[in-house]
Chains A and B, each alone.
Chain A
Protein backbone atom coordinates (compact mmCIF):
# COMPACT_ATOMS: atom_id res chain seq x y z
CA UNK A 1 0.00 0.00 0.00
CA UNK A 2 1.59 3.19 -1.23
CA UNK A 3 0.39 6.66 -0.26
CA UNK A 4 1.63 9.95 -1.63
CA UNK A 5 1.51 13.29 0.15
CA UNK A 6 2.66 16.73 -0.94
CA UNK A 7 3.18 19.54 1.57
CA UNK A 8 3.68 22.88 -0.06
CA UNK A 9 4.16 26.43 1.11
CA UNK A 10 6.17 29.56 0.61
CA UNK A 11 9.77 29.79 1.76
CA UNK A 12 9.81 30.18 5.55
CA UNK A 13 6.48 28.52 6.26
CA UNK A 14 8.13 25.21 7.05
CA UNK A 15 6.66 22.91 4.42
CA UNK A 16 9.83 20.85 4.15
CA UNK A 17 10.25 20.64 7.91
CA UNK A 18 6.67 19.38 8.14
CA UNK A 19 7.36 16.76 5.48
CA UNK A 20 10.53 15.70 7.22
CA UNK A 21 8.69 15.13 10.52
CA UNK A 22 5.99 13.10 8.77
CA UNK A 23 8.39 10.88 6.81
CA UNK A 24 10.67 10.49 9.81
CA UNK A 25 7.72 9.30 11.90
CA UNK A 26 6.80 6.76 9.22
CA UNK A 27 10.32 5.32 8.96
CA UNK A 28 11.54 5.39 12.56
CA UNK A 29 8.35 5.00 14.57
CA UNK A 30 5.94 3.16 12.28
CA UNK A 31 8.52 0.83 10.74
CA UNK A 32 7.29 1.73 7.30
CA UNK A 33 9.22 2.71 4.22
CA UNK A 34 9.19 6.39 3.31
CA UNK A 35 10.99 8.67 0.92
CA UNK A 36 10.98 12.43 1.19
CA UNK A 37 12.11 14.59 -1.70
CA UNK A 38 12.29 18.34 -1.69
CA UNK A 39 11.63 21.02 -4.27
CA UNK A 40 12.17 24.76 -4.23
CA UNK A 41 11.86 27.77 -6.43
CA UNK A 42 15.12 29.67 -6.89
CA UNK A 43 14.18 32.21 -4.17
CA UNK A 44 15.12 31.57 -0.56
CA UNK A 45 12.31 33.50 1.13
CA UNK A 46 8.92 33.93 -0.46
CA UNK A 47 9.37 31.44 -3.28
CA UNK A 48 7.51 28.13 -3.21
CA UNK A 49 8.92 25.10 -1.51
CA UNK A 50 7.53 21.63 -1.14
CA UNK A 51 8.10 18.26 0.44
CA UNK A 52 6.89 15.15 -1.35
CA UNK A 53 6.46 12.08 0.80
CA UNK A 54 5.84 8.53 -0.33
CA UNK A 55 4.91 6.12 2.46
CA UNK A 56 4.58 2.40 1.87
CA UNK A 57 4.53 -0.93 3.64
CA UNK A 58 6.72 -2.27 0.80
CA UNK A 59 10.16 -1.14 -0.40
CA UNK A 60 9.66 1.99 -2.52
CA UNK A 61 10.80 1.75 -6.13
CA UNK A 62 9.91 5.01 -7.90
CA UNK A 63 10.67 7.63 -5.23
CA UNK A 64 8.63 10.58 -6.51
CA UNK A 65 4.92 11.32 -6.19
CA UNK A 66 2.69 10.77 -9.22
CA UNK A 67 -0.89 10.96 -7.89
CA UNK A 68 -1.45 12.59 -4.54
CA UNK A 69 -3.59 11.00 -1.85
CA UNK A 70 -3.26 14.16 0.18
CA UNK A 71 -2.23 17.71 -0.59
CA UNK A 72 -1.33 20.05 2.25
CA UNK A 73 -0.93 23.66 1.21
CA UNK A 74 -0.15 26.94 2.89
CA UNK A 75 -0.63 29.25 -0.11
CA UNK A 76 -3.28 29.69 -2.78
CA UNK A 77 -1.17 28.77 -5.80
CA UNK A 78 -0.14 25.61 -4.02
CA UNK A 79 -3.77 24.52 -4.25
CA UNK A 80 -4.40 25.80 -7.76
CA UNK A 81 -1.27 24.28 -9.29
CA UNK A 82 -1.49 20.90 -7.58
CA UNK A 83 -5.24 20.32 -7.77
CA UNK A 84 -4.98 18.18 -10.88
CA UNK A 85 -2.36 15.96 -9.23
CA UNK A 86 -4.74 14.77 -6.53
CA UNK A 87 -6.26 11.32 -6.90
CA UNK A 88 -9.97 10.84 -7.26
CA UNK A 89 -11.56 11.08 -3.78
CA UNK A 90 -8.32 12.44 -2.40
CA UNK A 91 -7.98 15.03 0.33
CA UNK A 92 -6.74 18.58 0.76
CA UNK A 93 -5.70 20.26 3.99
CA UNK A 94 -5.26 23.99 3.56
CA UNK A 95 -4.27 26.90 5.79
CA UNK A 96 -7.65 28.55 6.22
CA UNK A 97 -6.60 32.21 6.21
CA UNK A 98 -4.26 31.86 3.25
CA UNK A 99 -6.11 29.46 0.97
CA UNK A 100 -9.64 29.64 -0.39
CA UNK A 101 -11.49 26.61 -1.73
CA UNK A 102 -13.96 28.81 -3.61
CA UNK A 103 -12.43 28.21 -7.04
CA UNK A 104 -12.33 24.42 -6.73
CA UNK A 105 -14.72 22.72 -9.13
CA UNK A 106 -13.83 19.13 -8.27
CA UNK A 107 -16.57 17.55 -6.20
CA UNK A 108 -14.74 14.37 -5.25
CA UNK A 109 -12.21 15.91 -2.89
CA UNK A 110 -12.41 16.00 0.88
CA UNK A 111 -11.35 19.55 1.73
CA UNK A 112 -10.33 20.51 5.24
CA UNK A 113 -9.53 24.12 6.07
CA UNK A 114 -7.30 24.43 9.14
CA UNK A 115 -6.70 27.85 10.73
CA UNK A 116 -3.13 26.79 11.47
CA UNK A 117 -1.63 30.27 11.68
CA UNK A 118 -4.22 31.62 14.14
CA UNK A 119 -3.99 28.45 16.26
CA UNK A 120 -0.21 28.78 16.37
CA UNK A 121 -0.55 32.47 17.19
CA UNK A 122 -2.97 31.76 20.01
CA UNK A 123 -0.47 29.29 21.43
CA UNK A 124 2.14 32.03 21.31
CA UNK A 125 4.19 31.46 18.18
CA UNK A 126 2.97 31.89 14.63
CA UNK A 127 5.96 29.96 13.33
CA UNK A 128 4.44 26.66 14.48
CA UNK A 129 1.63 26.77 11.89
CA UNK A 130 3.36 23.99 9.98
CA UNK A 131 3.34 21.78 13.09
CA UNK A 132 -0.41 22.41 13.49
CA UNK A 133 -0.83 21.14 9.93
CA UNK A 134 1.29 18.06 10.64
CA UNK A 135 -1.16 17.31 13.46
CA UNK A 136 -4.04 17.66 11.02
CA UNK A 137 -2.39 15.19 8.67
CA UNK A 138 -2.44 12.58 11.44
CA UNK A 139 -6.22 12.87 11.56
CA UNK A 140 -6.43 11.84 7.91
CA UNK A 141 -3.50 9.52 7.36
CA UNK A 142 -3.74 5.96 8.53
CA UNK A 143 -0.11 5.13 7.86
CA UNK A 144 1.29 7.43 10.57
CA UNK A 145 -0.15 7.76 14.07
CA UNK A 146 -0.20 10.89 16.19
CA UNK A 147 2.00 9.09 18.73
CA UNK A 148 4.70 8.47 16.11
CA UNK A 149 4.49 12.08 14.98
CA UNK A 150 5.05 13.22 18.56
CA UNK A 151 8.26 11.20 18.74
CA UNK A 152 9.49 12.52 15.39
CA UNK A 153 8.62 16.05 16.49
CA UNK A 154 10.67 15.61 19.64
CA UNK A 155 13.65 14.55 17.50
CA UNK A 156 13.31 17.64 15.36
CA UNK A 157 12.61 20.22 18.09
CA UNK A 158 14.06 18.81 21.32
CA UNK A 159 14.30 22.24 22.97
CA UNK A 160 10.80 23.52 22.21
CA UNK A 161 8.97 20.23 22.43
CA UNK A 162 6.20 21.20 24.88
CA UNK A 163 5.04 24.10 22.77
CA UNK A 164 5.26 22.09 19.56
CA UNK A 165 3.31 19.19 21.04
CA UNK A 166 0.49 21.62 21.88
CA UNK A 167 0.49 22.84 18.29
CA UNK A 168 0.49 19.27 16.99
CA UNK A 169 -2.41 18.24 19.25
CA UNK A 170 -4.42 21.32 18.31
CA UNK A 171 -4.11 20.52 14.62
CA UNK A 172 -4.98 16.89 15.21
CA UNK A 173 -8.07 17.66 17.26
CA UNK A 174 -9.31 20.26 14.84
CA UNK A 175 -8.94 18.07 11.78
CA UNK A 176 -10.48 15.12 13.62
CA UNK A 177 -13.55 17.24 14.38
CA UNK A 178 -13.64 18.65 10.86
CA UNK A 179 -13.76 15.20 9.37
CA UNK A 180 -16.47 14.53 12.01
CA UNK A 181 -18.74 11.62 11.35
CA UNK A 182 -16.97 11.00 8.07
CA UNK A 183 -13.74 10.37 9.86
CA UNK A 184 -13.58 6.62 9.31
CA UNK A 185 -14.35 7.17 5.69
CA UNK A 186 -11.78 9.92 5.52
CA UNK A 187 -9.11 7.71 6.98
CA UNK A 188 -9.56 5.19 4.25
CA UNK A 189 -8.61 7.79 1.69
CA UNK A 190 -4.96 7.76 2.55
Chain B
Protein backbone atom coordinates (compact mmCIF):
# COMPACT_ATOMS: atom_id res chain seq x y z
CA UNK B 1 0.00 0.00 0.00
CA UNK B 2 2.76 2.40 0.83
CA UNK B 3 4.62 1.66 -2.36
CA UNK B 4 3.79 3.66 -5.38
CA UNK B 5 5.54 3.71 -8.70
CA UNK B 6 6.75 0.66 -10.52
CA UNK B 7 10.20 0.30 -11.93
CA UNK B 8 10.09 1.63 -15.45
CA UNK B 9 13.16 1.18 -17.53
CA UNK B 10 12.18 3.11 -20.62
CA UNK B 11 12.62 6.58 -19.13
CA UNK B 12 16.37 6.26 -18.88
CA UNK B 13 17.42 4.08 -21.77
CA UNK B 14 19.38 6.77 -23.59
CA UNK B 15 21.82 7.33 -20.74
CA UNK B 16 24.63 5.13 -22.02
CA UNK B 17 25.43 7.38 -24.98
CA UNK B 18 27.38 9.70 -22.77
CA UNK B 19 29.37 7.12 -20.87
CA UNK B 20 33.10 7.01 -20.53
CA UNK B 21 34.97 3.70 -20.78
CA UNK B 22 34.70 3.26 -17.01
CA UNK B 23 30.94 3.48 -17.29
CA UNK B 24 30.75 6.73 -15.34
CA UNK B 25 29.16 9.70 -17.07
CA UNK B 26 31.49 11.98 -18.98
CA UNK B 27 32.68 14.97 -16.99
CA UNK B 28 30.65 18.08 -17.69
CA UNK B 29 27.59 20.06 -16.74
CA UNK B 30 24.30 18.25 -16.56
CA UNK B 31 20.73 19.12 -15.67
CA UNK B 32 19.70 16.29 -13.45
CA UNK B 33 17.30 15.08 -10.78
CA UNK B 34 18.78 14.53 -7.32
CA UNK B 35 17.84 10.86 -7.24
CA UNK B 36 19.53 10.27 -10.60
CA UNK B 37 22.66 12.13 -9.45
CA UNK B 38 22.87 9.77 -6.48
CA UNK B 39 23.10 6.75 -8.81
CA UNK B 40 25.78 8.37 -10.98
CA UNK B 41 27.78 9.14 -7.84
CA UNK B 42 27.47 5.55 -6.62
CA UNK B 43 28.81 4.29 -9.95
CA UNK B 44 31.70 6.74 -9.78
CA UNK B 45 32.42 5.59 -6.21
CA UNK B 46 32.74 2.01 -7.45
CA UNK B 47 29.44 0.66 -6.21
CA UNK B 48 28.35 -2.30 -8.33
CA UNK B 49 25.58 -3.88 -6.28
CA UNK B 50 22.13 -2.50 -5.56
CA UNK B 51 19.37 -4.39 -3.78
CA UNK B 52 16.17 -2.59 -3.08
CA UNK B 53 12.46 -2.22 -3.02
CA UNK B 54 10.98 0.80 -4.81
CA UNK B 55 9.37 3.38 -2.59
CA UNK B 56 8.33 6.96 -3.20
CA UNK B 57 10.12 9.39 -3.17
CA UNK B 58 13.29 7.34 -3.68
CA UNK B 59 12.08 5.16 -6.58
CA UNK B 60 14.05 7.01 -9.28
CA UNK B 61 17.24 5.82 -7.61
CA UNK B 62 16.24 2.19 -8.05
CA UNK B 63 14.84 2.87 -11.51
CA UNK B 64 18.07 4.39 -12.75
CA UNK B 65 20.20 1.79 -10.95
CA UNK B 66 18.30 -0.93 -12.84
CA UNK B 67 19.49 0.63 -16.10
CA UNK B 68 22.92 1.89 -15.12
CA UNK B 69 24.33 -0.86 -12.91
CA UNK B 70 24.13 -3.56 -15.63
CA UNK B 71 25.81 -1.10 -18.02
CA UNK B 72 28.85 -0.91 -15.75
CA UNK B 73 29.05 -4.61 -14.97
CA UNK B 74 27.08 -4.37 -11.75
CA UNK B 75 23.78 -5.76 -10.55
CA UNK B 76 20.58 -4.19 -9.34
CA UNK B 77 18.03 -6.59 -7.94
CA UNK B 78 14.56 -6.18 -6.55
CA UNK B 79 14.16 -7.92 -3.21
CA UNK B 80 10.93 -9.05 -1.59
CA UNK B 81 11.12 -6.21 0.93
CA UNK B 82 13.49 -3.82 2.67
CA UNK B 83 14.49 -6.35 5.34
CA UNK B 84 15.89 -8.57 2.61
CA UNK B 85 17.37 -5.60 0.75
CA UNK B 86 19.55 -4.64 3.69
CA UNK B 87 20.51 -8.30 4.26
CA UNK B 88 21.56 -8.61 0.62
CA UNK B 89 23.82 -5.60 1.01
CA UNK B 90 25.65 -7.29 3.89
CA UNK B 91 26.15 -10.40 1.76
CA UNK B 92 27.41 -8.37 -1.18
CA UNK B 93 29.68 -6.37 1.08
CA UNK B 94 31.26 -9.53 2.51
CA UNK B 95 31.66 -10.82 -1.04
CA UNK B 96 33.85 -7.77 -1.67
CA UNK B 97 31.44 -5.46 -3.47
CA UNK B 98 30.47 -1.92 -2.64
CA UNK B 99 26.74 -2.13 -2.03
CA UNK B 100 23.86 0.28 -1.69
CA UNK B 101 20.13 0.67 -1.40
CA UNK B 102 17.74 3.59 -1.30
CA UNK B 103 14.48 3.85 0.55
CA UNK B 104 12.20 6.16 2.49
CA UNK B 105 10.84 6.13 6.05
CA UNK B 106 8.76 2.92 5.97
CA UNK B 107 11.58 0.98 4.32
CA UNK B 108 14.16 2.54 6.63
CA UNK B 109 12.18 1.19 9.60
CA UNK B 110 12.27 -2.29 8.11
CA UNK B 111 16.02 -2.06 7.57
CA UNK B 112 16.83 -1.24 11.18
CA UNK B 113 17.45 -4.82 12.28
CA UNK B 114 19.94 -5.47 9.52
CA UNK B 115 21.58 -2.09 9.99
CA UNK B 116 22.49 -3.40 13.44
CA UNK B 117 23.78 -6.59 11.83
CA UNK B 118 25.92 -4.60 9.40
CA UNK B 119 27.23 -2.53 12.30
CA UNK B 120 28.24 -5.48 14.49
CA UNK B 121 29.69 -7.46 11.57
CA UNK B 122 31.45 -4.33 10.29
CA UNK B 123 30.05 -4.56 6.79
CA UNK B 124 30.52 -1.35 4.80
CA UNK B 125 27.41 -0.34 2.90
CA UNK B 126 25.45 2.79 1.98
CA UNK B 127 21.77 3.34 2.64
CA UNK B 128 20.10 6.38 1.09
CA UNK B 129 16.94 7.61 2.79
CA UNK B 130 14.92 10.07 0.73
CA UNK B 131 12.76 11.24 3.60
CA UNK B 132 9.02 11.70 3.15
CA UNK B 133 6.39 13.13 5.48
CA UNK B 134 4.97 11.59 8.59
CA UNK B 135 5.00 8.40 10.65
CA UNK B 136 3.99 5.06 9.11
CA UNK B 137 3.23 5.52 5.41
CA UNK B 138 2.65 9.24 5.97
CA UNK B 139 2.58 11.28 2.78
CA UNK B 140 4.74 9.44 0.25
CA UNK B 141 5.09 12.31 -2.21
CA UNK B 142 5.93 15.12 0.18
CA UNK B 143 8.95 16.22 2.15
CA UNK B 144 9.83 15.48 5.77
CA UNK B 145 12.86 15.29 8.05
CA UNK B 146 11.39 12.93 10.60
CA UNK B 147 13.97 10.14 10.34
CA UNK B 148 16.99 12.02 11.66
CA UNK B 149 16.85 10.50 15.14
CA UNK B 150 15.97 7.11 13.69
CA UNK B 151 19.22 7.28 11.72
CA UNK B 152 21.01 7.67 15.03
CA UNK B 153 19.02 5.49 17.41
CA UNK B 154 16.71 3.40 15.25
CA UNK B 155 18.57 0.11 15.61
CA UNK B 156 18.71 -1.47 19.05
CA UNK B 157 21.78 -1.70 21.27
CA UNK B 158 24.61 0.81 21.27
CA UNK B 159 25.32 2.06 17.77
CA UNK B 160 27.37 4.92 16.43
CA UNK B 161 26.18 5.95 13.02
CA UNK B 162 27.40 8.18 10.22
CA UNK B 163 24.93 10.25 8.21
CA UNK B 164 25.25 12.89 5.50
CA UNK B 165 22.54 15.40 4.72
CA UNK B 166 22.60 16.95 1.22
CA UNK B 167 21.05 20.34 0.42
CA UNK B 168 21.33 20.33 -3.38
CA UNK B 169 21.53 17.97 -6.33
CA UNK B 170 25.28 18.61 -6.54
CA UNK B 171 25.72 17.81 -2.88
CA UNK B 172 23.60 14.67 -3.18
CA UNK B 173 26.12 13.56 -5.81
CA UNK B 174 29.20 14.59 -3.85
CA UNK B 175 28.06 13.19 -0.52
CA UNK B 176 27.07 9.85 -2.02
CA UNK B 177 30.70 9.41 -3.11
CA UNK B 178 31.88 10.53 0.33
CA UNK B 179 29.46 8.10 1.98
CA UNK B 180 31.01 5.16 0.12
CA UNK B 181 34.50 6.29 1.06
CA UNK B 182 33.54 6.66 4.70
CA UNK B 183 31.81 3.27 4.72
CA UNK B 184 34.89 1.62 3.24
CA UNK B 185 37.24 3.32 5.66
CA UNK B 186 35.23 2.67 8.80
CA UNK B 187 33.69 -0.65 7.70
CA UNK B 188 30.27 0.44 8.85
CA UNK B 189 26.86 1.29 7.37
CA UNK B 190 26.66 4.93 6.28
CA UNK B 191 23.45 6.85 5.62
CA UNK B 192 22.71 9.58 3.10
CA UNK B 193 19.73 11.35 4.66
CA UNK B 194 18.22 13.19 1.70
CA UNK B 195 14.60 14.28 1.52
CA UNK B 196 11.85 14.48 -1.10
CA UNK B 197 12.71 18.02 -2.19
CA UNK B 198 16.40 17.25 -2.75
CA UNK B 199 15.73 13.83 -4.26
CA UNK B 200 13.16 14.97 -6.78
CA UNK B 201 14.38 18.43 -7.73
CA UNK B 202 16.27 19.04 -10.97
CA UNK B 203 19.32 21.27 -10.82
CA UNK B 204 22.72 21.90 -12.29
CA UNK B 205 25.14 19.04 -11.69
CA UNK B 206 28.83 19.18 -12.46
CA UNK B 207 30.25 15.73 -12.93
CA UNK B 208 34.00 15.66 -12.39
CA UNK B 209 36.41 13.47 -14.30
CA UNK B 210 36.81 10.16 -12.54
CA UNK B 211 40.55 10.75 -12.20
CA UNK B 212 39.82 13.76 -10.02
CA UNK B 213 37.55 11.90 -7.64
CA UNK B 214 38.98 10.30 -4.52
CA UNK B 215 37.68 6.75 -4.29
CA UNK B 216 38.66 4.69 -1.26
CA UNK B 217 38.80 0.92 -1.23
CA UNK B 218 38.55 -1.07 1.97
CA UNK B 219 41.59 -2.84 3.35
CA UNK B 220 41.21 -6.52 2.55
CA UNK B 221 42.55 -9.27 4.78
CA UNK B 222 45.21 -11.50 3.30
CA UNK B 223 44.07 -15.07 3.96
CA UNK B 224 47.65 -16.30 4.30
CA UNK B 225 48.52 -14.05 7.23
CA UNK B 226 45.81 -15.58 9.43
CA UNK B 227 45.33 -12.16 11.00
CA UNK B 228 42.79 -11.65 13.74
CA UNK B 229 39.58 -10.89 11.80
CA UNK B 230 38.22 -8.65 14.56
CA UNK B 231 41.34 -7.14 16.06
CA UNK B 232 39.85 -4.68 18.52
CA UNK B 233 43.18 -3.02 19.19
CA UNK B 234 43.05 -1.45 15.74
CA UNK B 235 40.42 1.04 14.54
CA UNK B 236 40.73 0.08 10.89
CA UNK B 237 40.89 -3.68 10.42
CA UNK B 238 41.33 -5.34 7.02
CA UNK B 239 38.08 -7.02 5.99
CA UNK B 240 37.94 -10.77 5.43
CA UNK B 241 36.27 -11.42 2.07
CA UNK B 242 34.14 -14.50 1.62
CA UNK B 243 35.68 -17.09 -0.68
CA UNK B 244 39.27 -15.97 -0.30
CA UNK B 245 40.17 -18.66 2.24
CA UNK B 246 40.12 -16.62 5.42
CA UNK B 247 37.86 -19.21 7.08
CA UNK B 248 36.46 -16.81 9.61
CA UNK B 249 33.17 -16.77 11.47
CA UNK B 250 31.02 -13.67 11.02
CA UNK B 251 28.49 -13.49 13.83
CA UNK B 252 25.65 -11.24 14.91
CA UNK B 253 26.31 -12.27 18.50
CA UNK B 254 28.86 -10.34 20.50
CA UNK B 255 32.10 -11.89 19.29
CA UNK B 256 35.77 -12.03 20.21
CA UNK B 257 38.76 -11.19 18.03
CA UNK B 258 38.36 -14.51 16.20
CA UNK B 259 34.70 -13.78 15.45
CA UNK B 260 33.40 -16.43 17.85
CA UNK B 261 30.40 -15.67 20.09
CA UNK B 262 31.20 -14.87 23.69
CA UNK B 263 29.36 -13.86 26.85
CA UNK B 264 32.59 -12.75 28.52
CA UNK B 265 32.23 -9.18 29.80
CA UNK B 266 35.73 -8.24 28.68
CA UNK B 267 34.82 -9.34 25.15
CA UNK B 268 31.63 -7.25 25.24
CA UNK B 269 33.59 -4.29 26.51
CA UNK B 270 36.33 -4.55 23.91
CA UNK B 271 33.98 -5.24 20.98
CA UNK B 272 31.52 -2.43 21.65
CA UNK B 273 34.41 -0.17 22.62
CA UNK B 274 35.91 -0.85 19.21
CA UNK B 275 32.66 -0.46 17.24
CA UNK B 276 31.79 2.88 18.86
CA UNK B 277 35.36 4.05 19.32
CA UNK B 278 36.46 3.67 15.72
CA UNK B 279 33.86 6.30 14.82
CA UNK B 280 34.05 8.45 17.97
CA UNK B 281 37.83 8.70 17.94
CA UNK B 282 37.75 9.92 14.35
CA UNK B 283 34.53 11.93 14.46
CA UNK B 284 36.29 15.19 13.69
CA UNK B 285 37.61 13.68 10.47
CA UNK B 286 34.04 12.82 9.46
CA UNK B 287 32.39 16.13 10.38
CA UNK B 288 31.37 18.39 7.55
CA UNK B 289 29.64 21.70 7.91
CA UNK B 290 29.24 24.89 5.95
CA UNK B 291 28.85 28.47 7.10
CA UNK B 292 27.26 31.61 5.71
CA UNK B 293 27.90 35.04 7.26
CA UNK B 294 29.17 33.47 10.46
CA UNK B 295 31.94 35.97 11.22
CA UNK B 296 29.80 38.71 12.72
CA UNK B 297 26.61 36.69 13.31
CA UNK B 298 24.70 37.39 16.50
CA UNK B 299 21.77 35.11 15.76
CA UNK B 300 22.62 31.71 14.35
CA UNK B 301 20.45 29.36 12.31
CA UNK B 302 21.50 25.70 12.40
CA UNK B 303 19.86 23.74 9.59
CA UNK B 304 20.37 20.75 7.30
CA UNK B 305 18.95 19.21 4.13
CA UNK B 306 16.31 21.06 2.15
CA UNK B 307 15.44 23.22 5.17
CA UNK B 308 18.93 24.72 4.92
CA UNK B 309 17.84 26.24 1.58
CA UNK B 310 14.94 27.97 3.35
CA UNK B 311 17.33 28.99 6.12
CA UNK B 312 19.77 30.56 3.65
CA UNK B 313 16.99 32.66 2.12
CA UNK B 314 15.87 33.58 5.65
CA UNK B 315 19.34 34.67 6.75
CA UNK B 316 19.64 36.95 3.69
CA UNK B 317 16.22 38.43 4.44
CA UNK B 318 17.02 38.89 8.13
CA UNK B 319 20.26 40.69 7.21
CA UNK B 320 18.24 42.99 4.96
CA UNK B 321 16.00 43.64 7.97
CA UNK B 322 19.03 44.63 10.06
CA UNK B 323 19.52 41.41 12.02
CA UNK B 324 23.03 40.00 12.11
CA UNK B 325 22.02 36.47 11.25
CA UNK B 326 24.25 33.62 10.10
CA UNK B 327 23.77 30.05 8.93
CA UNK B 328 25.60 26.96 10.11
CA UNK B 329 24.62 24.11 7.81
CA UNK B 330 25.15 20.63 9.20
CA UNK B 331 26.34 18.33 6.43
CA UNK B 332 27.03 15.48 8.86
CA UNK B 333 24.26 15.36 11.44
CA UNK B 334 25.87 12.13 12.70
CA UNK B 335 28.33 11.84 14.32
CA UNK B 336 27.07 15.08 15.76
CA UNK B 337 29.63 17.90 15.42
CA UNK B 338 29.33 18.86 19.09
CA UNK B 339 32.52 20.94 19.32
CA UNK B 340 31.49 22.99 16.28
CA UNK B 341 28.13 23.85 17.84
CA UNK B 342 29.84 24.69 21.11
CA UNK B 343 32.39 26.93 19.39
CA UNK B 344 29.86 28.97 17.41
CA UNK B 345 27.34 29.09 20.25
CA UNK B 346 29.87 31.06 22.31
CA UNK B 347 29.90 33.83 19.69
CA UNK B 348 26.14 34.31 19.23
CA UNK B 349 23.15 35.35 21.33
CA UNK B 350 20.73 32.65 20.20
CA UNK B 351 20.51 29.60 17.97
CA UNK B 352 17.37 28.70 16.05
CA UNK B 353 16.99 25.23 14.55
CA UNK B 354 14.33 24.90 11.81
CA UNK B 355 13.31 21.32 11.04
CA UNK B 356 10.47 19.60 9.20
CA UNK B 357 9.73 17.54 12.29
CA UNK B 358 8.71 18.25 15.87
CA UNK B 359 12.22 18.52 17.29
CA UNK B 360 15.05 16.13 16.51
CA UNK B 361 18.45 17.69 15.71
CA UNK B 362 17.52 20.58 18.01
CA UNK B 363 18.26 18.23 20.94
CA UNK B 364 21.97 17.60 20.36
CA UNK B 365 22.30 21.29 19.41
CA UNK B 366 20.82 22.25 22.78
CA UNK B 367 22.98 19.70 24.57
CA UNK B 368 26.12 21.32 23.26
CA UNK B 369 25.25 25.00 22.88
CA UNK B 370 26.31 27.62 25.40
CA UNK B 371 23.43 29.93 24.44
CA UNK B 372 19.64 29.59 24.25
CA UNK B 373 18.45 27.22 21.51
CA UNK B 374 15.00 27.59 19.96
CA UNK B 375 13.48 24.93 17.73
CA UNK B 376 11.31 25.97 14.79
CA UNK B 377 9.22 22.94 14.12
CA UNK B 378 6.73 22.40 11.38
CA UNK B 379 4.63 19.47 10.32
CA UNK B 380 6.19 17.70 7.37
CA UNK B 381 4.45 17.89 4.00
CA UNK B 382 5.79 21.23 2.79
CA UNK B 383 9.21 22.83 2.70
CA UNK B 384 9.53 25.49 5.38
CA UNK B 385 8.79 28.99 4.15
CA UNK B 386 11.78 31.31 4.75
CA UNK B 387 9.48 33.87 6.39
CA UNK B 388 8.80 31.40 9.22
CA UNK B 389 12.52 31.44 10.03
CA UNK B 390 12.78 35.23 9.55
CA UNK B 391 9.92 35.68 12.00
CA UNK B 392 11.71 33.54 14.57
CA UNK B 393 14.93 35.51 14.08
CA UNK B 394 13.00 38.76 14.58
CA UNK B 395 11.61 37.45 17.85
CA UNK B 396 14.89 36.21 19.30
CA UNK B 397 16.83 39.30 18.15
CA UNK B 398 14.47 41.72 19.88
- Which residues from chain A sit less than 8 Å from chain B, CB to CB? 20, 23-24, 27-28, 33-38, 40, 42, 60-64, 66, 158
Contact = CB atoms under 8 A, between A and B. Distances in A.
Given A34-B204, A35-B202, A38-B200, A28 B309 contact: no
A24 B31 contact: yes
B309 A63 contact: yes
Interface of B: 14, 29-31, 141, 197, 200-204, 306, 309-310, 312-313, 316, 383, 385-386
B197 A61 contact: no
A101 B202 CA distance: 31
Given A20-B31, A36-B203, 8 more contacts: A27-B203, A27-B204, A34-B204, A35-B202, A37-B197, A37-B201, A40-B141, A61-B310
A10 B310 CA distance: 29
Contacts of B310: 61-62
Contacts of A28: 29-31
Nearest to A19: B202
A60 B202 CA distance: 12
Nearest to B306: A63
Contacts of A37: 197, 200-202
A33 B31 CA distance: 10
Nearest to B387: A66
A20 B36 CA distance: 14
Given A23-B202, A34-B203, A35-B202, A61 B29 contact: no
A131 to B, nearest CB: 17
A14 to B, nearest CB: 14
B56 to A, nearest CB: 10
Contacts of B202: 20, 23-24, 35-37
A106 to B, nearest CB: 23
7 contacts: A20-B202, A23-B202, A34-B203, A40-B141, A61-B386, A62-B309, A158-B14
Contacts of A42: 141
Contacts of B204: 27, 33-34
Instruction: Give 6 nearest A-B pairs by CB, closest first.
Output: A62-B313, A61-B312, A61-B313, A36-B202, A24-B31, A27-B31
Contact of B386 (A23, A27, A34, A62): A62
Contacts of A64: 197, 383
Contacts of B313: 61-62
B14 to A, nearest CB: 8
A167 B200 CA distance: 28
A3 B385 CA distance: 17
B223 to A, nearest CB: 50
Contacts of B30: 28
Contacts of A61: 309-310, 312-313, 316, 386
Given A34-B204, A64-B383, A23 B309 contact: no
B203 A35 contact: yes
B278 to A, nearest CB: 37
B2 to A, nearest CB: 13
B168 to A, nearest CB: 8
Contacts of B316: 61
Given A62-B313, A64-B383, A36 B201 contact: yes
A61 B201 CA distance: 13
